Each structure stands twice: as C-alpha cells, then as structure tokens.
Structure 1
Amino acid sequence: MTPTYPLAAVAHQPELLFALSLLAVAPAIGGLLIRGDRGAAKSTAARGLAGLLPPGPDGVDAPFVNLPLGATEDRVVGTLDLDAALRGEARLKPGLLAQADGGLLYIDEVNLLPDHLVDVLLDAAALGVVRVQRDSLSAEAPARLALVGSMNPEEGGLRPQFLDRFGLCVDVSAPQQPAERAEIIRRRMAYEADPLAFAARWDAEQAALGGRLAAARLLLPAVTLSDPLLEAITALSSEAGVRSLRADLVLHRAARACAALEGRTEVVDADLRRVAPLVLNHRRDPRLPPPPSGSPSAEPPPPSLAPETRPPHAPPEVHPPDTSPPPAAGGPPPEDVFAPSAAGAPLALQAFTPGTRAAGETAALRSVPDPQATRLDVPATLRSMLGRGASVPVRDDFRAPVPPEEGGRRVLFVADASGSVGVSGRMGALKGALLDALAAQGGRDRVALVTFRGTGATTLLGWTTDAAEAEAAVRAAPTGGRTPLAHALLLAADLLAGVRGAELVLLTDGRANVPLSPGSDAWADALHAAEGLRGIPALVVDTEAGRVRLGRAAQLAGMLGARLQALEPA
C-alpha cells in the first residue's frame, strides 16, 4: 500500500499546519475550513493529518474518508436497514459519517455541496453522532470525527451561517518565493519517485509531530483559562462584529488547545493572539474595516508550533515577513461604497400567487397518526406496520399527510456594481430600488443577492428571509472596476438551479467588458449566458444613463424573455 504524503513534509504552510494541529488536539473546535487557490496543498495536508490521529481501540489506523462531490444524503448519513425493519428492529446501515468515526472526514469543494448536506455534516461533527429518523423508526451511530473542508473562493463562497459553523478557517496560497517553490517541487518529485523511501526519510519528523499532538491531547483536559482572558475573548468577538456566541466558544477551545501544544496547563495572552485570526476572520462583519495594526487578530503570529520539517542536508529555508503575492502594478481598481438614494419607481416584480409552494417543497413534508384518515401517506403507514412486526396494517398504523405551509416567492437580485454604474451616479438609486423591493417582501419570501464588478461575480447574500441581513448586504456593497456580466449570469444560473418559481431581477447597463476566457467577446459571452436562463421569470432593470446609450439592457431582456424597466424615468 502506497504511504500517504507525510504531514511533516508539507513545506511553507505554517498556518495550515498549526490549524490542523489544533483540530487534531481538540476536535470539539468544530471543524476546519481551508480556503485557497488550487495547488496550495489543501488536500495533501488533510490526508497527512489522518495518519496522526489516535488509532481505534483495536489498533487500526484512524479512518480517512473523502466525501465525493456528488454524494447523496443517504450515502452521507446512512439509511435504515430494511431487512432489520421487517423484523421490527431499527438498525442503521452506515453512511460516510459513521465510517469516519474516530478519524477524519474530508470534503473537497465544500462550497459546491448542496446546503442541506453541509448542514447535516456540520451537525454530525458538532454532536458526534449521526441520526436517521423515518416517522416511528429511528437509529443512530457514533460520528466522532475531525471535519476538514476545503474550497477555492474563485468557484463561489459559503453562506455566512455555514461559515460560522466551521470552528476554524485558514486562507492558504502557494508560496511566491522561487526558492520555496523549488523546495516544494523537489519534495513532491521525490515522493512520486519512491513513496516508501520518502516516507522513511521523514519518519523521525512525522513521529515527533505525532508525539507532540498525542501529548497535547493528554494535557488538554487540565488546561485552564482565567476570567480576564475570558473577558478578552468576548471583547475580540464584539470588536469583530460577530453575532454568534459560537466564536467565543471556539476561541476558548482553540486557545486551550494552543496552550496544550506548548506543554502548558494555563492559557496565556499569546495563545489567544495566536488563534484569534483563525477563529474570527471568516466570521468578521464585512461592513467593518480590517482590524487595526497591533490588535490581537492582526498581530503577526509567533513561530509555527509544528516541529522543524526541513530534513537534514536540505538547503536553508528563507521565511520573509510577508509571502503574500505583491499587488498588481498600479494597485487595485478604485472602489466606493455609495449610500442608497431615492429610486425613481418601485421594481415591477411579478405578483405572488398564494398556494405556490416554495422551492424544494413537496406535497407533504410529514405525516401524523390518523385512524380516520381519508388520504394515506403510504410509505409512512407501511413503516408503522413494519415497526410493530405486523403483516397487515390496522387503523392505528394509518398516517395522514400534512401539507406544508404555503411558502413565499424567491427573488434573486443580480446587481451591476461596476465602475460605469458608479460614475453615472446611479449606484445610490440602484441600492435604493433594491431596498424598496426588499422592504416589500413578505415574511415568507426569500431573497438572494449577487453583485458583479472587477473580474467576477460574488454572492453577497444567500437565500434568506432575514430583512436586516439583506439590507446590510445592500448598503455595504462596494462599487468599482469592470463589468463581468457573463460571470454574473452564470452564477445566477447556478443559484437558480432546482429553485422552482424563482424570479431573476437583473440591474445593469449591459456594458459587459470582461470575457469568460481570454480572446472571447465579453458581450457575446453575456448573451450566450443569458440564453441559458431563458424561461425563468425575469425582470431587467436598465441602469444606463447619459446621452449616448447602447440599449444593451433591452437586448438582454429580449434574450432572457424578460420584462424591461428603467431604473429611473428618462
């Protein structure tokens, strides 16, 4: 069997090794999210950590389970064993969560998983158990695991509520220094040429790292944190604008794990400063400015807690103070945050017809016992019968379907936040129109917001009914840069996939100038992307201004089969 690439051999990623070490010492931290570009050792490091987790009671190595992107909920959670159910027993047929018990569950491209699967995975990791319930039958299995997810931010983000559920988050990138890149390539080529010899070469370093983690796990229960530091934890979370108390709990657990890694039984201020960026950066309120220099979450970290990973006779490594890529020539494009202003007219959204079910809702989400039922939920009735070991149902087994409550509409707003909208002075009116439309939504309505500028599109707001969250996202949306219209339409298609009855509201002047691929035509790309959305109820709001108008918003509306409205009367 080919040995796994040793974690100790992962070079020039000290923050990633530190975050993985914290998770190995205290899985109760709640999982680790690794964000970064392709080829930044995300999956390699996660696989390497599994080999350093404590073995099972029978001495078998801790399992490493890789969750495939197309996995179904039954594959992840497990199903009830039908053979056992026929005998009146409730028994779980294990899924991937139960198989990862005592080890590590790795989810590559976690941001591309369906939301309900992400929710199930995070729940199981937090509770340490996976449960399957089908009406009167239920079963559970242990799922005490370390959860590691990775993602490339260029392929889309995670909704804020899911980001908060990950205890730690580390942003990684491939080193930019030529000497460091060369060392990484040398190690990888040596591993591919002879994995056994490479693993043997790193045995001592891997054993030292494993020993440090094992010692820290034993010490962790004895580590204490003083009241003054607890007050510092709450102050850090408040300053970062974090609403959830989960951040405070994770800071407490991570600081104790950090002290245990250092071999101490009392948390000191340096431990808190060391872990704060991993806990707070992905939870920080985006409307707040970055932390000032000198604050605990902005202070440069001390040397990595991982042991020295440079093998004997290797060339000396250089660690510059800042290995982040240099800014592009000329600096980033200018951007502004415009305040909303009065809109000319309300957006003409389609009328909502009561009785329309929300996306994903079926004819009946649950059933209830009803001996006098005139309509039966047949699967639930059969499960009740099998649960008591009978061959013929009686009235006590009858289950009547309960229709879901009527859902509201779904509206996806896609707003042009490029420099052309800002220069024309229309960004304030655009935000005002969005806020007016959001205020008109009912309590059951769900909205989402995508903005596009610079080189891509961003989901500023996932599907939500939280009016305050939606308003905050609109007010804080920055403006500036080019117009990647085609990118926004492709992202809209992804967000609308499988969402029945949703409406698309596109606010743009149509002046696309960022192609999907080098050499292609940006406007042709946008029309082609719009064609893929044809058939979805849509409204195009023309934000174009000035004497010379191209009329491209009208062309987009024609390609989408959408209604057209001007942002402001001419």
Structure 2
Amino acid sequence: MTALYPLSAVAHQPALRMALSLLAVSPDIGGVLIRGDRGAAKSTAARGLAALLPSRPDGTPAPFVNLPLGATEDRVVGTLDLDAALKGEVRLKPGLIAGADGGVLYIDEVNLLADHLVDVLLDVAAMGVNRVQRDGLSAEHSARLALVGSMNPEEGGLRPQFLDRFGLCVDVQAPTGYGERAEIVRRRMAFEADPAAFTARWQAEEAMLTARLSAARDRLPQVALPDALLDTIAALSAEAGVRSLRADLVLYRAARALAALEGRREVREEDLHRVAPLVLTHRRDPRLPPPPPPPPAPPQEPSTPPTEAPQEASAPPSPQDDPEEVFAPAANPAPLALPAAPTPGAGGGGSAQGRTVRTVPDPQAVTLAVPATLRAALTRTGASGGPMTLTREDFRAPVREEVTGRRVLFVADASGSMGTRERMGAVKGAVLDVLREQGRRDRVALVTFRGAGATLALDFTTDAAAAEAAITAAPTGGRTPLAHALTLAAQVLTGEQGAQLVLFTDGRANVPLTPGGEAWADALGAARGLRGIPTLVVDTETGHVRLNRAAQLAGVMGAEWTALSPAPAG
C-alpha cells in the first residue's frame, strides 16, 4: 500500500487544516473548496484527510476517490448494470460516489468539471444520499462523504452559484518566508527518501489528531449555539454583502463543529469569527463596495529634468487633462449583440463537439448514444420478460460538453471626453450586461485607455467576478490615446484564434504614437492591423456636432458598428 503524506505534517497551512478538520467532524457542512497555486499542498492535504476518517463498517479503511475530469455522469452517479439486465434483472451498477461513501471524494481542477456534474456532487455532499433515476432505473444509496475540490484560479473560476454551494473555501499559497519554505522542502524530501520512516515519525501526531476528530464527531450532537448568536451570524453575512442564506446555515454548522473540536458543548461568539473567513470569503460580492480610485501620483520636482519618457506613455501628459473620476455602471435600454464569432473547427478539420457528458431520450435522434440506447431497451424488455427489441422509444441522444467558449476583448475609452456620468456609466453597464450572459468557459479581457497610454486592466480570464470588479473600478479622465489602445489590442489578441473585439470609443484621438505624429492617422493605421478580427465598434459620441470617427474606424476594420444608448438621465 502506498504511504500517504500525513495531514499533521502539512506545514504552515493552518486554515487548510482547520477547514478539513471541520469537514471531517461535520460532513453536512457541504464540502471544502481549496483555491491556490500549484504546489500548495492541496491534493496532499485532501489525501491525508482520508487516513484520519473512521473505517467502514466492514473494517476497510475510509476510501479516497479521485474523480477524473473525463468521467461521465454514468461513471459518477451509477447506471444500469448491463450484465444483470441481460439476465432480466434491473440493478444499479454503482459509480464513483458509491465508492467514496464514508471517505473522501476529491476533485482536482473542479473548475474544469462539467457544470451538471458539479451540481450533482454538491447535492450529494449536502444530502448524504445519492439518488439515481435513469434508463427506467430508480435507486438510492448512502453517500456520507467528505467532498473536497481544488482549483488554480489562473485556469478559470467557478460560477457564483457553485461557489455558494461549497460550504467552506480556503485560499492557499506557498509561504514566502525563507525558513517556512525550507521546512516544507525538508519534510517533503524526508518523506520521499523513506516514506515509512517519515510516517512512523509522525504517527503520534496523527493518532492525536484522529482521536480528536473522533471525539468531536461524538460530541457534535450535544453542542448548542445560543439563540443570541443567530444575530451575530446574520450580521457577519450581511456585512460581507452575502445574499445567500446558505452562508448563515454553514456558519452555524461550522461554529458547532469548531466548538466540538475544542472539547466544548456550547458555541462562543469567537468561534463564529474564526470560521467566518472560511464561510464568507468565496461568497462575498466583489461589486460591493467598488474599490476607491487610486490616489493621484505626487507631482514631479521641477528641478529634475526628465531623462526619458515614462514607460507607459508616448507623449507627456497635458496640464489641461481632466481629473480622474470613477463612475458607477448605468443601465442600458438596448443590450449589445456581440460580433459573430468563427465556428469552432471551421476550416481546420477539428470537431466542435466535446465528449459526451450525459444522454437524453430522443425518438428522432440523428446520432445515437449506443450504450444508453441498449440499456433503455434492456430495461424495457427485461421488465416484460420478452426478448430484447429496439424501438424509437429506446433511442438516446448524446449531450456533449462545450469544448471552448468565447474569447472577448473589451477595449474601453476612459478618457476625459467620456467623463460624463451617463456616457461612462453606460459603457460600464453595457460591458457588464455582456458579462452576465457569459458562459462558464468564456474568457474576457479588458483594455482601458486614457491619459498618455493604454493599459491591460485584466488579462483573459473566466472569472466573471474579477472582470466586473475591474470594469466597475476603471477611472475616467485625461486625453484619448486611441492608437495606443488599438496597438495593445493587436498584441493581446495575438495567438487568440477566434477571439472577438468590442471597442467603445468616440474616435476623438489626440495622442500620437510618437511625438510630432498625427493622432488620427496613427489610429487608422492601428485599426487596419485589426482587420479580419470579428469586431463591434460601439460609438460613444454625443452632442450636436459629431465627427463620426467611430464609424470610420469600423469601416477600416471591417467591423460592425452600433451607437451606445445611455439610459435617460434623471
């Protein structure tokens, strides 16, 4: 048997160890999500937890089941046993959930798992029962398991509704202190050199932790939470901007588990404050409140002549630049329609279809899911006792997961010419409207331009919350370096095949790429370099005298054009 790295030997991750301990005491907390960089002991800690759980009734150790990303719904929840069906019996073939009963079900890169499987697993973790109803089969079995998911946020996020359903969340990262890093490496090298000797050295610590968890599980039913602390729970959730009542329930359960761990039969207020970060961090609404604008930079000393231009600027800022402001997003009467994206796989010989994640009844199916179709036929004819026949009622069609989502680069004019509440608020509102229609695999990026240059405010990410926070906090003010923004957009889109571009601008460029250049000519030249990329130009120009330069840009880029429609003031 392969030796497991002891959980008690995981160094300098106290929040992670506490979260896993709370889950071991009270599985109805609903699972633990571990977010962090590679090499931060996420999977090591999850494996170590299984060794501390009580054995199964048959005496076998608590299982550790690693759910692969390629698993189908049948493999996860269970399906009809074909061997039994051929004998005329309707029986469940257990899946991975059944195998994890009484132990740990671990999902690495849970953010890349199909949405419907995440939903099923979170349901099972919360209820402790797996109910299977498919192919004419209805069955259920116990699924008292500790659900642990891990993810690297750089590879995309989870939808907010799934984040909310994970009871606890821990953000982990490798420590930066020299001594702490050295201690982690020292322990790991000792384990790899002689796993048996290392685990023997930590056996006493593991036994103490096992006994503590066991005693806490026995004590948990007697732990009470004073009624007055329910107000504290409500206050903690409200102050964090959390709308879901699930957070309040998890705070209640986690605080009781912590009190049980510490040998008490009554929850104290300090228990709530200790577990609150684990319960509320991933549920906190990043849009409330919006971050304040950064403080203005200190003025340059006049006695020190500049030796070179600032790295981000191509021209010195003008003393007449407008002061920066941050405008809140505003509602838009007409939502934007993104430019048409190339069909995935078109011209490249690739298939746009992903793997089959489930099947659905479809008498008119063009493509059959053969195993599921046979199971349906066997179930129907097995119940009647006659020979197996196949009818259209048995047809099952595959449902395939999306392979890739959209990639959309937003380029937003944040210069002083946009500096009215209605205009900049409408731009932010339009971008947020598109984001709210974002799929789980869609990736978005944001470039803003103002003052003397353009900035990549947000690189491509699937984290809609991070995108909303970046857009909401974008300041406004300064001149209009349009050519710089289009040049940066071309760099960002390099290698992003099939990406789409949405440009918000009034076209009134006034910062050339090089001193002495012509700003509008530079902007047109940079726009030509983006021709061929599916682009929507959103014209933000207002007023009685209009130059219609955004429409000219759209023509040069071969882009679609639309006018921004701010909501009426007042």
TM-score (norm 2): 0.69
Distance 2:256 2:332 in 1: 52
Q: Call closer, same or farther: CA 1:423–1:386 in 2, change over 3 Å.
A: farther
Q: 1:459 aligns with which of 459, 462, 472?
A: 462
Q: 1:425 aligns with which of 418, 435, 448?
A: 418
Q: Call closer, same or farther: CA 1:392–1:444 in 2, change over 3 Å.
A: farther
| 1:560 counterpart letter in structure 2 | I
Structure 2 partner of 1:330: none
* Aligned counterparts, 1:377-456, within 5 A: 380=376, 383-391=379-387, 399=393, 414=408, 416=410, 421=414, 425=418, 429=423, 432-433=426-427, 435=429, 450-452=444-446, 453-454=456-457, 456=459
- The C-alpha deviation readout for 1:208-254, integer Å capped at 9, x for no partner, is 11111111011001101111011211222222222221111111100
| 1:384 counterpart letter in structure 2 | R
Q: 2:493 aligns with which of 508, 515, 526?
A: 526
Distance 1:215 1:566 in 2: 66
* Aligned counterparts, 1:475-554, within 5 A: 477-479=472-474, 510-511=485-486, 513=488, 523-524=490-491, 526-529=493-496, 532-533=497-498, 540-541=502-503, 543=505, 545-547=508-510, 548-549=519-520, 550-551=523-524, 554=527
Across the two proteins, how many residue pairs are aligned to each other?
Answer: 457
Q: Call closer, same or farther: CA 1:566–1:188 in 2, change over 3 Å.
A: same
* SS of residue in 2 equivalent to 1:241: coil
Structure 2 gap ranges (5+): 292-323, 341-352, 364-371, 398-403, 447-455, 477-481, 511-518, 542-547, 550-570
Contact 1:340/1:427 (CA < 8 Å) preserved in 2? no
Structure 1 partner of 2:327: 338
Structure 1 partner of 2:31: 31
Distance 1:100 1:440 in 2: 40
Structure 2 partner of 1:165: 165
Structure 2 partner of 1:559: 532
Distance 1:231 1:145 in 2: 31
Structure 1 partner of 2:274: 274
* SS of residue in 2 equivalent to 1:528: coil
Residue 69 in structure 1 maps to residue 65 in structure 2: no
Larger Rg: 2
Distance 2:534 2:287 in 1: 36
Shift of 1:274: 0.8
Q: Call closer, same or farther: CA 1:264–1:434 in 2, change over 3 Å.
A: same
- The C-alpha deviation readout for 1:41-74, integer Å capped at 9, x for no partner, is 1111111111001111122110011122222222
Structure 2 partner of 1:134: 134
Residue 215 in structure 1 maps to residue 215 in structure 2: yes
Q: Call closer, same or farther: CA 1:461–1:177 in 2, change over 3 Å.
A: closer
Distance 1:40 1:11 in 2: 10
Contact 2:329/2:472 (CA < 8 Å) preserved in 1? no
- The C-alpha deviation readout for 1:52-99, integer Å capped at 9, x for no partner, is 011111221100111222222222222211122234433222222111
Structure 2 partner of 1:283: 283
| 1:477 counterpart letter in structure 2 | T
Distance 2:445 2:199 in 1: 47
Shift of 1:24: 0.6
Contact 2:458/2:470 (CA < 8 Å) preserved in 1? no
| 1:280 counterpart letter in structure 2 | L
Distance 1:542 1:437 in 2: 10
Structure 1 partner of 2:115: 115
Contact 1:226/1:267 (CA < 8 Å) preserved in 2? yes
* SS of residue in 2 equivalent to 1:559: coil
Structure 1 partner of 2:566: none
* SS of residue in 2 equivalent to 1:215: helix
Shift of 1:289: 4.0
Shift of 1:512: 5.8
- The C-alpha deviation readout for 1:274-324, integer Å capped at 9, x for no partner, is 101100111011122499xxxxxxxxxxxxxxxxxxxxxxxxxxxxxxxxx
- The C-alpha deviation readout for 1:11-58, integer Å capped at 9, x for no partner, is 111111111110111011000001111111111111111100111112
Q: Call closer, same or farther: CA 1:12–1:47 in 2, change over 3 Å.
A: same
- The C-alpha deviation readout for 1:136-158, integer Å capped at 9, x for no partner, is 32233332110111111111111
Greater alpha carbon shift after TM alignment, 92-101 vs 69-78? 69-78
- The C-alpha deviation readout for 1:143-196, integer Å capped at 9, x for no partner, is 211011111111111110010010000111111111111111111111111111
Distance 1:173 1:54 in 2: 29
* Aligned counterparts, 1:189-200, within 5 A: 189-200=189-200
| 1:139 counterpart letter in structure 2 | A
Contact 1:81/1:90 (CA < 8 Å) preserved in 2? yes
| 1:261 counterpart letter in structure 2 | L
Structure 1 partner of 2:346: none
Contact 1:412/1:449 (CA < 8 Å) preserved in 2? yes
Greater alpha carbon shift after TM alignment, 136-145 vs 196-205? 136-145
Contact 1:30/1:125 (CA < 8 Å) preserved in 2? yes
| 2:7 counterpart letter in structure 1 | L
Distance 2:215 2:415 in 1: 57
Contact 1:23/1:31 (CA < 8 Å) preserved in 2? yes
Shift of 1:121: 1.6
Shift of 1:478: 2.6
* SS of residue in 2 equivalent to 1:144: coil
Structure 1 partner of 2:516: none
Greater alpha carbon shift after TM alignment, 237-246 vs 190-199? 237-246
Distance 1:336 1:117 in 2: 44
Q: Call closer, same or farther: CA 1:336–1:188 in 2, change over 3 Å.
A: farther
- The C-alpha deviation readout for 1:425-444, integer Å capped at 9, x for no partner, is 37974652574698799x99
Distance 2:66 2:276 in 1: 29
| 1:207 counterpart letter in structure 2 | A
Contact 1:137/1:387 (CA < 8 Å) preserved in 2? no
Shift of 1:475: 10
The percent identity for this pair of structures is 58
Structure 1 partner of 2:154: 154
Distance 2:176 2:236 in 1: 32
Contact 1:424/1:546 (CA < 8 Å) preserved in 2? no
Structure 1 gap ranges (5+): 292-334, 352-358, 369-376, 404-409, 463-469, 482-506, 514-521
| 2:213 counterpart letter in structure 1 | L
Distance 1:398 1:340 in 2: 52
TM-score (norm 1): 0.69
Structure 2 partner of 1:322: none
* SS of residue in 1 equivalent to 2:170: strand
* SS of residue in 1 equivalent to 2:387: coil
Distance 2:528 2:143 in 1: 53
Shift of 1:271: 0.8
Tell me how large the CA RMSD over aligned residues is: 4.3
Distance 2:69 2:331 in 1: 44
Contact 2:241/2:288 (CA < 8 Å) preserved in 1? yes
Structure 1 partner of 2:254: 254
* SS of residue in 2 equivalent to 1:282: helix
* Aligned counterparts, 1:209-358, within 5 A: 209-289=209-289, 337-340=326-329, 347=336, 349=338
